[in-house]
Amino acid sequence: MNETRLSVRVDNTTKRNAEAVFSALGMNLSTGINIFLTRVAQSRSIPFTLELDADQLDVRMRGVVKAKLNIAAESGAPIALYDDEQNRPYLEYPDGRRVYELD
């Protein structure tokens, strides 16, 4: 088998706790990490659910939306927005024009 060395940084407590779990399962840390990486490679996914709390999601989504709006503005494309005062959607162009008649 063609092998490579992998170096990762992890805090000491996490490493000790993981070693204890793997030891209880009859394996060392290297074997446990190899099993994890093999499972990721085979399933092409992470074998557990990853979740963000609402605050993390809100910050990340604002960043994504801001980046997408910047890309649209740079390309000259209008951005669909909603006017709360007029209770209707509109397109805003990079030059500041607003078009309320949407088909």
Chain segment 15-74, per-residue pLDDT in tens = 999 999 999 999 999 999 999 999 999 988 888 887 767 676 777 777 777 787 778 778
What is the pLDDT at residue 12? 93
SS3 letters across 8-42: CCCCHHHHHHHHHHHHHCCCCHHHHHHHHHHHHHH
Which of 75, 80, 76 has its CA nearest to residue 103?
Answer: 80
Residues 67 and 35 in one domain: no
Shared domain for 8 and 44, answered yes or no, is yes
36 and 6 in a common domain: yes
* Claim to verify: residue 43 and residue 80 sit in the same structural domain: no
Across the chain, how many H-helices and E-strands are there?
3, 3
User: What is the rounded distance in angstroms from the CA atom of residue 26 to the CA atom of residue 23?
Assistant: 5
Q: Is 60 found in the same domain as 40? A: no
Does 36 lie in the same domain as 10? yes
> What is the residue range of 75's domain?
54-99
* 43 shares its domain with 2: yes
Query: What is the reported pLDDT for 102?
Result: 66
Bridge partners, 80 (sequence order) = 91
